Chain A
Amino acid sequence: MNTEKSEAGEGKKRGGDVIVETVSRLMVPFIQLFALYVIIHGAGGPGGGFQGGVIFGASFVLLVIAFGIVKAGDRFPEGINTALTSLGVYIYAGVGLLCIILSLGVAQYLNYGFLSLPVHFEERRALGMDLVEIGIGITVMAVITSIFFNLVWKREPEGGGGEEE
């Protein structure tokens, strides 16, 4: 009885999930490509760091919806996610500190005109803005991913808490 029930259960599960799993696995790279497009073309049209980061995080949420939290959650280890959240803030504050170091004497925080790139003063501001938007996108992507995974993960009940699901 036990084996029959488990086999019938497995057959039903296999039939419904193939389409959703395959299509979402195909769609995820294109969603991430669109997110990178929105981050980098934030200077020429609508978009920017926050918007692109959220779209990037939405692609990981799609993976969790299609595959279930246990299978998809094993692919994103918690340590790398937490490191990525702080990497974006480092990039942003680091660019500002670099502008203080490279602007000898005037010492202005986050004035991208003093970065040492081989173009004239006004265009350096545009390139500095792109660097900063990339940092924002990385942080927002990692934070949205980690918030979603932590809210959905089923927790093991601690000792003495009772059987709660």
Chain B
Amino acid sequence: MKLISLSALLFVIFLGALFIYIADDIPDFGDPNSPPNRYVNLSISMDAAEAATNLNKGVVPEELVSKLEARGFREDELPAKVEMVKEGEWDAFIIPEEKHYYPKEQKYYFIKKEGDKLWVYRYAPIIRYIEEGHEETEVPNMVTYILADYRGYDTLGEVTVIFTAGVGVILLLRRRAKRPEAR
């Protein structure tokens, strides 16, 4: 066998071993609670007793705000309002500065009680597009309004890519008319 075939085979086997090594971290197929689909575990935990009573009344506890600020969240990403979803689960909202129409509250954090502690999760950005997309744009198809409205700038770059490919092929293989050899 040629040298490059042999070295390619060895490299492919090495890559295969690497993929098997990291197979533990990949989320399961069809898991509804995996990080791309619902929320990401932030690994912030608080004691349940005093914080739970604060959250039940609808007041954001000080400990939560200070821990989030220590983690690195910015000024306008700290929670401003808490609502209860079920017994033991709370949604925390933030009010970002959306300059174009009105500053609206947005569902950002998810606090859950497990055993003795409260764990804090963060919602994936897809939650806003699924739940409030149909009110903000009167379009039923989610893929279309994400492509053309919320991420419209990326689609402009996309059209530029295919325009560049067309121009590249035209420059390489131009269809010339049969001209007579005039020298």
Contact = CB atoms under 8 A, between A and B. Distances in A.
A136 interface: yes
A146 B159 contact: no
Interface in A117-165: 121-123, 125-126, 128-129, 132-133, 135-136, 139-140, 142-143, 146-147, 149-151, 153, 155-156, 159
Nearest to A145: B166
Contact of A151 (B138, B167, B173): B173
The interface residues of chain A, by DSSP majority, are classed as helix
Interface residues of B, number: 36
Interface in A57-114: 73, 78, 82, 85-86, 88-89, 92-93, 96, 106, 108-113
B169 A147 contact: yes
B99 A92 contact: no
Interface in B135-179: 135-141, 143-145, 147-149, 152-153, 155-156, 159-160, 162-163, 165-167, 169-170, 172-176, 178
Contacts of B143: 46, 48
A92 B157 CA distance: 11
The interface residues of chain B, by DSSP majority, are classed as helix
B100 interface: yes
Most B-side CB within 10 Å, residue of A85, A86, A88, A121: A85
Nearest to B153: A110
Interface residues of A, number: 49
Interface of A: 42-49, 73, 78, 82, 85-86, 88-89, 92-93, 96, 106, 108-113, 121-123, 125-126, 128-129, 132-133, 135-136, 139-140, 142-143, 146-147, 149-151, 153, 155-156, 159
